[in-house]
């Protein structure tokens, strides 16, 4: 079970994770998957920040399926394998994946999901 994040924390986690994961990749993920573009990722972080400032009420409003897909792409980036035996890199990616799943839980609570991620068990 993940610790419940606030929208403000979720925006910060998203930004840190994307910066860390992007710095480890030879290609910008948005170039491979438009869903992970800088614009879409920034828009999701801004929605979380608006909710944190009280503009969205208690729940994160304005989140749509595209936002969930954007987050899911970043989770897949975190979960992707490394091309060499690098235990610290694998551990860092696993941690970013765990944190991004907590953000996903914030924007798409389990009761509202159509499918479950088996790694959440």
pLDDT digits (tens, 9 = 90+) for 28-75: 766 677 788 889 999 999 999 988 666 545 557 778 889 999 999 999
Structural domain includes residue 29: yes
Classify residue 1: in a domain, yes or no.
no
Asked if residue 120 belongs to a domain, the reply is no
pLDDT at residue 18 greater than cutoff 70: yes
Mean per-residue pLDDT for 97-117? 78
Within a domain: 118: no
How many domains does the structure of the chain reveal? 1
- pLDDT tens digits, one per residue of 77-95: 898 876 667 888 889 999 9
Asked whether the beta carbons of 41 and 49 are under 8 A apart, the reply is: no
Q: Is residue 106 part of a domain?
A: yes
- Rounded to two decimals, what is the model's pTM? 0.78
Q: Which domain holds residue 74?
A: 7-110
Q: Which long-range contacts (CB under 8 A, 24 or more apart) does 64-70 make?
A: 66/35, 66/40, 67/40, 67/43, 67/107, 68/104, 68/107, 68/108, 69/35, 70/35, 70/36, 70/40, 70/41, 70/44
Higher pLDDT: 37 or 116? It is 37
């Amino acid at each position: 079970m993940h610790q419940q994040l606030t929208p403000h924390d979720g925006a910060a986690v998203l930004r840190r994770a994307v910066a860390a994961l992007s710095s480890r990749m030879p290609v910008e993920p948005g170039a491979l998957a438009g869903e992970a573009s800088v614009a879409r990722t920034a828009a999701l972080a801004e929605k979380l920040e608006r909710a944190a400032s009280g503009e969205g009420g208690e729940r994160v409003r304005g989140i749509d399926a595209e936002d969930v897909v954007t987050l899911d792409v970043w989770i897949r980036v975190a979960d992707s394998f490394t091309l060499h035996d690098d235990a610290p890199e694998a551990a860092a990616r696993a941690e970013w994946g765990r944190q991004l799943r907590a953000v996903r839980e914030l924007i798409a609570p389990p009761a509202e999901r159509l499918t479950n991620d088996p790694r959440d068990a």
